Amino acid sequence: MDRLTKAQRVLSRRIKGSERWKKQRLFVAKLHEKVANQRKNSLHHKSKELATVFDAVAVEDLNMKGMSRALKFGKSVADNDWVMFTTYLTYKLEEQGKKLIKVDKWFPSTQTCSCCGNKKEMPMSVRTYECSCGSIMERDHNAAINIKNEAIRLLALE
Ligand SMILES: [Zn+2]
């Protein structure tokens, strides 16, 4: 159990309106703020790192799950975090004359073989992309290559 959960549990056991309850409520609020700040700092740090290392960054629009997994935000990542993260990333890239490229959410990144361009259904439970061309790749890795290629294509059109 983390500190916040523990503190909230203590609060729920206190008599509502009592001095000890008020004190605990303040403590919970401060912990909340601390956790939120740590998350924000980590989003700043990760976006800065990406903006420094790469000349351009491509993301699949609205692909929160894939991105949060790739960056190890953990299961608790909220939509809000993703919005914050892409906002930070966009301006940190722009500061350096770089770009965030958003690939359309309907682009079939998961369904396409990144080796030969074949397409097939890929239910969520299938973790490996196996193609008749002989290519075998981890699902997200295959999708990432497709997103990268699509981003390069989009950049060339500009
Ligand atoms: Zn293939």
Distance 118 CA to ligand 1 centre (A): 5
- Digit-coded pLDDT (tens) for 60-96: 876 555 555 566 655 555 567 778 888 999 999 999 9
Distance 104 CA to ligand 1 centre (A): 22
Return mean pLDDT, the chain: 89
Identify the bridge partners of residue 99 per DSSP, sorted by sequence position.
56
CB 51 within 8 A of CB 87: no
Enter the pTM of the model.
0.71
- How far does CA 41 lie from the centroid of its chain? 15
